[in-house]
C-alpha cells in the first residue's frame, strides 16, 4: 500500500554575500542533498538579507547567480526541491512588513547579531539590520516549515520566529506552523586554519584562515600547509591540540575515516605529511562540486530558467500563507 503520509517541510537559506567556505560545505551543504530525499525542501539564495551591507551592484548580481549555481552544484535537484532566489518572491518582503507590526522593539534590540554587526559596520547601522530577524521569520513562516537547519549562531533567530508565530496564532488562531530546529546528521564544525578556536568564516580578514568552496587546488594546498598546529608533532585528537583536532575533523569528514584510524595511519609521521593528506582530501571532496559549478556558470540561461521555475512554485505556496494572514488581519483581498 502506498505511503501517503505528508513529508515534513524544511527551509534552508544561504546569503548571497560571498562564496561559502569549506566550513559551510562540510557543516551544512553536504547534508542538504540527503535532506531532500526525506523531506519537502525549499532552498533559497537570501539576497534580500545581503543588502544590510552596501553591495557593489555588478558584483552583487554576479554573487547571486554564483550562489544559485553552487546550490545546484552540491546536488540539489530543482525538479525534486524548490530552489529559488528570495527577491524573486515578493511575498517575503510583504509578510516581513506585516510581521514587523507583531514584533516588539525590545525583542529586536536584544538580538546579539544586531549588536555585533552594529559594531562591525558602525558607519551603516540601518533599520534593515535591526529588523533582519523579522525578514528571516517571514522566510520560514511563509512556507509553513516544520524544520529549519540552524547553527549555534542562528538559534536566536529561530526562537524569535517561533515567538512571532506564537503571538500571531494567539491573536488570530492557528495560522503559522511553529518551526523546530532541524537536528540531522551532524556536520563538521570547521574552525579557522589560523585561529582554530574560532569558527571558519568567509569574513575573516586573514584569507589563510578559510578555504573557499571555489578555491583552486593549489590555493587549498597552500592554505592547508600554512595551517596552525602545535609543537608536539603527533597526529592525535586531544584537548589543547585545537589546530590538529580541526584538521582531523576536516579529514574525517572528507574521507569517512574515524579519528582512531587517522591516528593509526599517521603514527610516526610528521605534520607536513598530514597537512598534505588533508589538503588532497579537501581538493577531492570539492572537485565534483567545482566541476559542476563551472558547467552551470557557462549556461546562465539554464540557471535563470531553473530560478524562475523555482520562484514560480515558491510564489504559489507563499501566497496561500500570505492570503491567510491578510484575511485574518482584516485586509480586503
Write out 260-309 in H/E/C secondary structure: HHHHHHCCCCCHHHHHHHHHHHHHHHHHHHHHHHHHHHCCHHHHHHHHHH
* Coil/strand/helix, residue 250: helix
Q: At what angle do helices 300-329 and 127-142 cross, to 10 degrees?
A: 90
The set of catalytic residues is 117, 199, 202
| Contact predicate 2/35, CB 8 Å | no
Q: Taking the model in full, what pTM does it have?
A: 0.90
Tell me the C-alpha distance between 272 and 276, whole Å. Answer: 6
Helix, strand, coil percent content, the chain, rounded in steps of 5: 60, 10, 35
What integer pLDDT is reported at residue 122 of this predicted model? 74
Per-residue pLDDT of the chain (333 residues; tens, 9 = 90+): 444 567 899 999 998 877 899 999 998 898 888 888 889 999 999 999 999 888 999 999 999 999 999 999 999 999 999 999 999 999 999 999 999 999 999 888 888 777 777 677 777 788 888 899 999 999 999 999 999 987 666 778 899 999 999 999 999 999 999 999 886 665 668 999 999 999 998 888 899 999 999 999 999 999 999 999 998 989 999 999 999 999 999 999 999 999 999 999 999 898 999 999 999 999 999 999 999 999 999 999 999 999 999 999 999 999 999 999 999 999 999
Q: Which residues neighbour 281 within 8 Å (Cβ) at sequence distance 6 or greater?
A: 250, 251, 254, 255
Kindly report the CATH class assigned to 9-187+300-329. Answer: alpha beta
* Coil/strand/helix, residue 34: helix
What integer pLDDT is reported at residue 4 of this predicted model? 52
What integer pLDDT is reported at residue 107 of this predicted model? 86
What integer pLDDT is reported at residue 2 of this predicted model? 44
Q: How many CA atoms lie less than 13 Å away from 144 in the CB half-sphere?
A: 17
What integer pLDDT is reported at residue 265 of this predicted model? 95
The single residue listed with the C-alpha cell 524562475 is 308
Q: Structural domain boundaries of the chain?
A: 9-187+300-329, 207-294
CATH 3.30.465.10 for domain 207-294: no
Nearest to 19 by CA among 183, 200, 155, 193: 200
Q: Which residues pair with 95 in a beta bridge?
A: none
What integer pLDDT is reported at residue 1 of this predicted model? 40
172 burial (CB, 10 Å; 0-12 / 13-18 / 19+) is middle
Tell me the C-alpha distance between 193 and 225, whole Å. Answer: 10
Main-chain dihedrals φ then ψ at residue 72, nearest 5 degrees: -70, -35
Amino acid at each position: 500500500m502506498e505511503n501517503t503520509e505528508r513529508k515534513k517541510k524544511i527551509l534552508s537559506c544561504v546569503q548571497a554575500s560571498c562564496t561559502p567556505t569549506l566550513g559551510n560545505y562540510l557543516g551544512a551543504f553536504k547534508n542538504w542533498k540527503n535532506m531532500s530525499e526525506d523531506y519537502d525542501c525549499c532552498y533559497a539564495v537570501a539576497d534580500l538579507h545581503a543588502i544590510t551591507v552596501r553591495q557593489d551592484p555588478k558584483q552583487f548580481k554576479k554573487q547571486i547567480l554564483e550562489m544559485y549555481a553552487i546550490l545546484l552544484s552540491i546536488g540539489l535537484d530543482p525538479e525534486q526541491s524548490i530552489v529559488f532566489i528570495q527577491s524573486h518572491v515578493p511575498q517575503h518582503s510583504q509578510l516581513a512588513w506585516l510581521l514587523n507590526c507583531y514584533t516588539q522593539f525590545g525583542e529586536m534590540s536584544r538580538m546579539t547579531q544586531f549588536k555585533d554587526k552594529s559594531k562591525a559596520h558602525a558607519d551603516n547601522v540601518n533599520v534593515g539590520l535591526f529588523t533582519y530577524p523579522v525578514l528571516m521569520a517571514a522566510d520560514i513562516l511563509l512556507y509553513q516549515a516544520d524544520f529549519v537547519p540552524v547553527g549555534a549562531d542562528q538559534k536566536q533567530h529561530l526562537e524569535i520566529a517561533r515567538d512571532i508565530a506564537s503571538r500571531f496564532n494567539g491573536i488570530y488562531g492557528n495560522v503559522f506552523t511553529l518551526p523546530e530546529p532541524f537536528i540531522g546528521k551532524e556536520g563538521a564544525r570547521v574552525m579557522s586554519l589560523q585561529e582554530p578556536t574560532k569558527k571558519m568564516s568567509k569574513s575573516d580578514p586573514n584569507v589563510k584562515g578559510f578555504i573557499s568552496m571555489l578555491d583552486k587546488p593549489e590555493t587549498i594546498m597552500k592554505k592547508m600547509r600554512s595551517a596552525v598546529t602545535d609543537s608536539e608533532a603527533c597526529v592525535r585528537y586531544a584537548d589543547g591540540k585545537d589546530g590538529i583536532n580541526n584538521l582531523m575533523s576536516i579529514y574525517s569528514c572528507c574521507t569517512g575515516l574515524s579519528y582512531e584510524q587517522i591516528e593509526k595511519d599517521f603514527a610516526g609521521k610528521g605534520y607536513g605529511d598530514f597537512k598534505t593528506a588533508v589538503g588532497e582530501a579537501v581538493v577531492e571532496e570539492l572537485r565534483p562540486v567545482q566541476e559542476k559549478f563551472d558547467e552551470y556558470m557557462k549556461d546562465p540561461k539554464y540557471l535563470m530558467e531553473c530560478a524562475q521555475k523555482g520562484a514560480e512554485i515558491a510564489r504559489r505556496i507563499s501566497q496561500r500563507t500570505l492570503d491567510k494572514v491578510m484575511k485574518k488581519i482584516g485586509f480586503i483581498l
